[in-house]
Structure 1
Amino acid sequence: MAEVQQMMAPSPWQAFNSQGVLRIPTKKNARTHPKVDTSPGLKLGTWNVRSLYVAGKLDNLTQEMERCKVDIMGLSEIRWPNSGQCTTEKATLYYSGNNQPNRFNGVGFIVNKNVNNKVKNFVAYSDRSALLQLKADPVDLNIIQIYAPTTDRPENEVKQLYKEIKELMKLVKKREILVVMGDFNAKVGQGRVTDVVGEYGLGERNERGDTLVQFCQEEKLIIANTWFKLPPRRLYTWQSPQHTPDYVVRNQIDFLLISQRYRNGLSGVKTYPGTDIGSDHNPVIGTLKVRLKKLRRAPRKKVDMNKLKKAEIRAEAKEEINREIAKIRTLPQPPDDVGKTWDR
């Protein structure tokens, strides 16, 4: 019997029997195997912090953000006067308040330092509403943070808030991502309502909840934290200060809304009851599948210092500087340094 000749199978790099053959591909074709987006997305949330005008609370907030890995946290009831921004070692706080001496209301955003260079605009509309706009891919991201009047406040204040939200929405392009979040002081209740409220709300809807649902229907928004099946402890956002084991009072009154067309981009929306900042509210946090883009700043104009050798040009420059200083002095002043204020 003739001996059967055995040969090694070809490697991807070597032809079989010195004959020209196609090599086995070692890389996936971009068309047949598209690249999967494995980026973690943007983690954002909303939290009624019950005042940041307390010693150490801003540091406490940034620590909790870092622990929960939150990139942007919308804030309600921060109680800082006027409006502006304050930068710490780890984050930047954008705030919108009032000039009343008793320090109430106030909204804002605290933005992780790694995300802050994507912020393109901040609109401090009132002490109940503000807008943060970020450069993102595939479309820009717009976040409106609100703090709704409590149930003991007159109805006209609620109407005014929704009017403010609609005014801020006019600054958002139709195809961009819109998120509206905050303490709505409203209960939408359990049970689905069209494409607005999911199956997993809590309690019974009240009149303020009717107003919120109607607003979402008109503006094509969904109430995201009612669409995820979770245990009750991950759904309630507020607990009564009088809460005891025998007297349980918990409600879902803080919400995260998003445009219906981008609802699939938002995942894992839930509350974090373990956070500690001295508030009776829990933060509502979710992950948005979006890539932020670094904002390109306009290049700085180069000044020809040789021109300052001429006396008349020096005089003009001095006058211009004085005019700019005068403008700055007329602007509303931000709150005192937080550390100094606490020491008082």
Structure 2
Amino acid sequence: MGENIIEDDDYVMYYLGKTKGQLGVGFLVKKKYKANITTFIGISDRVCLLEITLEKHLFAIIQAHAPTEGSSQEDIDIFYDDLAKAHAPISTDNIISMGDFKAQIGKPKQYEHSVTGQYGYGARSTRGERLIQYAYENNLKITNTIFNLKKHRRWTWKSPDKNTKNEIDYIMAASNN
């Protein structure tokens, strides 16, 4: 619990969690890159930001863990407000936003190809609409949809009864390179 940095022989873990055994976000970084980390900001137990220099390029990485489908609209709004707070201090165009967004974007629409590729999985949910909006607002490309993977390789979540599969985890990127 809390916001902390833990080191062992090989890794440094940056994390933030406020409720024991629930939620929490963080980064596990190889120790040899520790000196390359310029910023770690825990926004909430659902969103954090790490800035790191690699190969002379600064990257901002946002880790996200969205509220569940049964959460209130207020919880969703707070989550996206926290994502906006994570973008505010970023000092680079090299951005990766990733995590469990609990959104289904489904098959992208033709006019959405500036933020998606042409491949998606399943049907779009209301949360998927919100994720597309987030991608537009932050000039991010949803990389999961760029490659034509076989359908059995597209889903990222399976229901406990193993009958339902959805793509709800995403990696989005923006770059000036």
In the superposition, the TM-score normalised over structure 2's length comes to 0.91
Residue ranges of structure 1 left out of the alignment (5+ in a row): 1-80, 263-344
Give the corresponding residue for 1:160: 78
Q: Give deviations 1:159-197, integer Å, cap 9, x for gaps.
A: 111111111211112x43111111000000023423112
Tell me how far apart the structure 2 counterparts of residues 90 and 165 of structure 1 sit (CA, whole Å): 30
Tell me how far apart the structure 2 counterparts of residues 137 and 165 of structure 1 sit (CA, whole Å): 26
Of 164, 169, 173, 1:258 maps to 173
Give the corresponding residue for 1:213: 132
Give the corresponding residue for 1:315: none
Cα root mean square deviation, aligned: 1.6
Q: How does 1:94-243 map to 2 (within 5 A)?
A: 94-98=14-18, 100=19, 102-173=20-91, 175-192=92-109, 193-243=112-162
Tell me how far apart the structure 2 counterparts of residues 128 and 237 of structure 1 sit (CA, whole Å): 19
Q: Return structure 1 stretches of 4+ with deviation > 4 angstroms.
A: none
| SS in structure 2 of the partner of residue 180 of structure 1 | strand
Tell me how far apart the structure 2 counterparts of residues 197 and 226 of structure 1 sit (CA, whole Å): 6
Q: In the alignment, does 2:2 pair up with 1:87? A: no
Give the partner amino acid of 2:47: S
Tell me how far apart the structure 2 counterparts of residues 163 and 259 of structure 1 sit (CA, whole Å): 19
Contact 2:103–2:127, Cα closer than 8 Å, also in 1? yes
- Residues 1:220 and 1:134: Cα distance change in structure 2 (over 3 Å): same
| SS in structure 2 of the partner of residue 203 of structure 1 | coil
- Residues 1:127 and 1:91: Cα distance change in structure 2 (over 3 Å): same
Tell me how far apart the structure 1 counterparts of residues 147 and 24 of structure 2 sit (CA, whole Å): 29
Contact 1:222–1:260, Cα closer than 8 Å, also in 2? no
1:137 positional shift: 4.1
| SS in structure 1 of the partner of residue 26 of structure 2 | strand
In the superposition, the TM-score normalised over structure 1's length comes to 0.49
Tell me how far apart the structure 1 counterparts of residues 175 and 115 of structure 2 sit (CA, whole Å): 8
Tell me how far apart the structure 1 counterparts of residues 108 and 47 of structure 2 sit (CA, whole Å): 28
| SS in structure 2 of the partner of residue 255 of structure 1 | strand
Tell me how far apart the structure 1 counterparts of residues 169 and 46 of structure 2 sit (CA, whole Å): 14
Please say which structure displays the higher CA radius of gyration: 1
Tell me how far apart the structure 1 counterparts of residues 10 and 57 of structure 2 sit (CA, whole Å): 26
Give the partner amino acid of 2:140: L
Contact 1:139–1:176, Cα closer than 8 Å, also in 2? no
1:103 positional shift: 2.8
**Alignment: residue pair count:** 175
